[in-house]
Amino acid sequence: MTVAGKPLSAQADPIETAKSARPNRGSLALQDLGSGLSKHWLWRAMAMQDIVLRYRGSVLGPLWLTLSAAIMIAAMGLIYSQLFNIDPIRYVPFLAVGLLTWQFISSVITDGCEVFMSVQHAIQQVRLPYTVHVFRSVFRNLLILGHNAVLIPIAFLVMGHGIGWEALMAIPGLLLLCLNGIWISLLLGMVSARFRDIPPIVAALLQVVFFATPVFWPVENLGRFRHLGEMNPLFAAIDIVRAPLLGEPTAPHSWLIVGIMTTGGLVMTAGFFSRFRSRIAYWV
Amino acid sequence: MASLHLQDLTVEFPIYQASGRSLKKALFSAPLVGSNLARDASNRIQVRALNHLTLSIEKGDRVGLIGPNGSGKTTLLKTLAGIYEPTGGALHIQGRISALLDVSLGLNPEATGRENIMLRGMYMGIHPKDMQGHVEEVVEFTELGPYIDMPVRTYSAGMMLRLAFAASTCVEPEILLMDEWLAAGDSHFLAKAQKRMEDFVQRSSLMVLASHSLDLLGKWCNKGLYLRNGNVIAYGPLAEVADIYQQSLADT
């Protein structure tokens, strides 16, 4: 029988200590990433369920996502091709790809803010790798994009726009976007869990950015400021997917900008995650 | 070989709501009542939920956690489960942890009972393929009949408890951590649950159970751990610890 304060001898090597955690925080973060990746069945199933449950009971189900995107593209395609005075045959495919890519990017970012707060309950009840929640969020948005992507060939067909082999370059582009989605979600998820002002700030910014970024208007329209528009990392992100699909050359620096953003973001988030991973459960 | 070793384990919670959780960092000076509140360097309020705990729990131990509300029982369970990483000291775990802390973990009201069984399994780290083999047994235990294919939001609290309980006790536990949550449920189910629980506890090689009921602890535990304000007041054979606990209750 031990009464308060009398220490017992401890054997066994520590597997987790706050003191010795300082040097191996990085390896704990890496462990989290590793087991998060190996639990791919978990986040894949969760992401599928997110989508199925959101639309359970509705007649069209997840098709609503696609339908609303289709309506948006049709309406904007008609109006803005007039406003910008561009042939709809050129404009609609451009708009379809740009808008869907933007929707993917922006919902990855907004969901990223909620990535830990929305699963607060699970985080407080069971130990799961934190990266599982991040992969779930990015994968869910990728599934939605996959659905909506059927609109792209439809738009191309209707407008009689051809598609070539160079379209395949959109695949590495999309993979890069996912990689960026992972670090952004992880970083924003942590910061938002700690500072609750972040999600509304991000949501407000995204709205402004949508209009300020060449998503639904061609970057050429900026005239002599065109180069400035091409430096916008969000434009670059859309460009590396859109230009190959449309069979056009990407803007000169798009791949470079996205490459820098990916590397820089991953390095920064790795540091952040290693430092603050153990605090997430306390924050949410 | 299952075992838990706590060495000088401390858990402190920053309370952001009370100070500047918002970026604007509104200045706020709450009076510090209670002994385990403190301010940290940046003037945030800290609650020390567990205060330098040092103890060992070995294979075969069935530890009953007792203590008044807010004594740190749940925090200790959550720390042992790996949810909170200690802010100080060390925790050595050997063995696989199963934690039954909350009935509604992973329950999605929109999904059917059957889907929720799978979900629950996934949260506990069981691959859907392995869970498939347990589903029928769980369905049978719940006695939910056709309701099993209805959305869980149509369930009563008791039905939900049955589902959650059956789903979380269908696998072999090694280190079992439990918060007392067998409160709801009709008496027929309670008797059945107790039987299943006994089997489940028997199969675990180490258990920590938090409860206010000394009767329950007497039935299932052989050791007691009395916590108050995050400090260990007593740890040892259940009967002795229960005596100390009851005495301290009588004193106040």
pLDDT at B39: 63
Compare all CA atoms of chain B with the CA of A284 and give the residue at the minimum distance.
Answer: B16
ipTM: 0.79
pLDDT at B185: 53
pLDDT at B25: 47
> Which residues on chain B are in Cβ contact (under 8 Å) with A133?
none
Residue B196 near chain A (CB below 8 Å): no
pLDDT at A269: 95
Q: Do B54 and A125 touch (CB under 8 A)?
A: no
Nearest-angstrom CA–CA distance, B90 and B80 = 11
Residues present in chain A in total:
284
Say if B105 falls within a structural domain: no
Residue ranges of the alpha helices (H) in chain B? 73-80, 113-123, 128-142, 157-168, 187-203, 214-220, 238-251
Q: How big is the A-B interface in CB pairs under 8 Å? A: 132
B42-61 tens-digit pLDDT: 666 778 889 889 999 988 88
pLDDT at B31: 46
B residues 122..181 contacting A (CB < 8 A)? 122-125, 127-128, 151
Say if B88 falls within a structural domain: yes
Say if B139 falls within a structural domain: no
pLDDT at B122: 86
Q: Do B240 and A126 touch (CB under 8 A)?
A: no
For A76, the token pair is 């904007």
Q: Domain of B45?
A: 3-96+212-251
Under 8 Å between Cβ of B229 and B244: no
pLDDT at B102: 76
Average pLDDT over residues B207-227: 87
For A243, the token pair is 């230009």
How many domains does the structure of chain B reveal? 1
Nearest to B91 by CA among B149, B201, B34, B175: B175
Average pLDDT over residues B178-193: 70
pLDDT at A54: 81
Say if B236 falls within a structural domain: yes
pLDDT at B40: 62
pLDDT at B19: 47
Residue A59 near chain B (CB below 8 Å): no
Nearest-angstrom CA–CA distance, A144 and A62 = 8
> Which residues on chain A are in Cβ contact (under 8 Å) with B94?
12
Q: Do B240 and A1 touch (CB under 8 A)?
A: yes
Contacting residues for A240 by C-beta, under 8 A, at least 6 apart: A169, A170, A172, A173, A176, A177, A250, A254, A255, A258
% of chain B with per-residue pLDDT over 70: 84
Distances B247 to A98, B209, B213, B221, B252 between C-alpha atoms, Å: 72, 21, 15, 20, 9
Nearest-angstrom CA–CA distance, A221 and A137 = 35
Say if B24 falls within a structural domain: yes
pLDDT at B174: 85
> Which residues on chain A are in Cβ contact (under 8 Å) with B234?
1-4
Q: Which backbone phi and psi does A60 adopt, to 5 degrees?
A: -85, -15
Q: Do B92 and A46 touch (CB under 8 A)?
A: no
Say if B217 falls within a structural domain: yes
Average pLDDT over residues B211-233: 88
Under 8 Å between Cβ of A116 and A193: yes
**Of A133-142, B101-110, B147-156, B237-246, where does the model show the most confidence?**
A133-142
User: Which residue from A8, A122, A195 is facing B55, i.e. has the nearest CB?
Assistant: A8
For A36, the token pair is 């998060």
More confident residue, A204 or B82: A204
Compare all CA atoms of chain A with the CA of B47 and give the residue at the minimum distance.
Answer: A282
Residue A49 near chain B (CB below 8 Å): yes
CATH number at residue B52: 3.40.50.300
Chain B nearest-CA distance from A252, in A, is: 39
Interface test mutation site (partner B, options A282, A283, A284, max chain B beta carbons within 10 A) = A282
Say if B168 falls within a structural domain: no
Chain A nearest-CA distance from B177, in A, is: 11
B131-184 tens-digit pLDDT: 888 899 899 988 888 999 999 989 988 888 888 888 888 877 888 888 876 544
pLDDT tens string, chain A, 284 residues long: the values are 444 433 333 333 344 444 444 447 888 889 899 989 999 999 999 999 888 888 877 877 778 889 999 999 999 999 999 999 999 999 999 999 999 999 999 999 999 999 999 988 888 888 889 999 999 999 999 999 998 999 999 999 988 888 888 899 999 999 999 999 999 999 999 999 999 999 999 999 999 999 999 999 999 888 899 989 999 999 999 999 999 999 999 998 999 999 999 999 999 999 999 999 988 988 88
Q: Do A17 and B90 touch (CB under 8 A)?
A: yes
Residue B108 near chain A (CB below 8 Å): yes
Say if B161 falls within a structural domain: no
- Under DSSP, the state recorded for A167 is G
Look at residue B20 and tell me whether its pLDDT is greater than 70.
Answer: no
